[in-house]
Structure 1
């Protein structure tokens, strides 16, 4: 298969660069359009950063390919779940409990702490049910759902790869 000719390091650097690129795009879009990210948006941003770091680790230490792929699948799966939940919240705002209106859950506590450390990157000021930005009829949460699914598939393909080129 044509994919077998691509070195493992190239797969990992592509994963890392793609995730970091998504974070930069999201932050720039937030600044340009004055969007207010919610706690779930910020948590997804954190997951993209973590997966990007795993991509860099895979580039630097390709011998740990199976571990890096497994971690990417787990974090991508968590991201998929968070994006799916936010997609549901946006589809049924009348049924969804709005973030920050109840006792903060673990995600909101992490986001709040990160927001105090680096407000320009992690400060959550929006509502999880709002659809402030759409592209081709899909909200940012919808796009994130698709991207996390792609990350999981990408990591599984890399995991199943036979040779260590």
Structure 2
């Protein structure tokens, strides 16, 4: 099995990463529109991280770089997007673990903040957390949604690692003439 994973191309790893991003977004949108769970600002930031990773994987799959440098660049860009998702999901879990008396008060909505504040201030305020982000409105097998999202990001991190593996071996169909 490991040998099979090592043989995957940049395009195949990118398509696998893209497919997992689509799955993560389908679950998020299903929970929002079918189950009725409204996303908090940290949930929205996690979705942005998934979409950023999906964008990198899509471009990487379409480009399918022949050289090592292209695969490494796509791996690093996708790893940055996935890593930011891991950080935000971890922050979200930390907020949910706080005792009730230490939870920050609820702030204004994300849409309102984006209208009146500069982006840097919005990012700082959202990442500092609010009461609505600390609320646990849904659990599956005893794990809250940010916990499942963190697990999803950790699984998704395998795709950039796979891109790095693909970058370090000769491309299929090409033969070194040295």
TM-score normalised by structure 2 residue count? 0.74
Alignment-derived partner of residue 24 in structure 1: 26
Structure 2 residues without counterparts, runs of 5 or longer: 173-178
Moved over 6 A (4+): none
Q: 1:135 to 1:7 in 2, by over 3 A?
A: same
Are the equivalent residues in 2 in contact too, given 1:40–1:107 (CA < 8 A)? no
Q: 1:49 to 1:77 in 2, by over 3 A?
A: same
Alignment-derived partner of residue 157 in structure 2: 152
Alignment-derived partner of residue 176 in structure 2: none
Structure 2 counterparts to residues 1-165 of structure 1, below 5 A: 1-63=3-65, 64-94=70-100, 95-98=102-105, 100=107, 105-107=121-123, 127-161=132-166, 162-163=168-169, 164-165=171-172
User: More deviation in 10-19 or 148-157?
Assistant: 148-157
Count of aligned pairs between the two proteins: 150
Q: Distance in 2 between matches of 1:108 and 1:39?
A: 12
- Report the secondary structure of 2:23's partner residue: helix
Q: 1:25 to 1:92 in 2, by over 3 A?
A: same
- RMSD value over aligned CA atoms? 2.5
User: More deviation in 38-47 or 148-157?
Assistant: 148-157
Query: Is the radius of gyration larger for structure 1 or structure 2?
Result: 2
Shift, 1:11, TM fit = 1.0
Q: 1:26 to 1:79 in 2, by over 3 A?
A: same
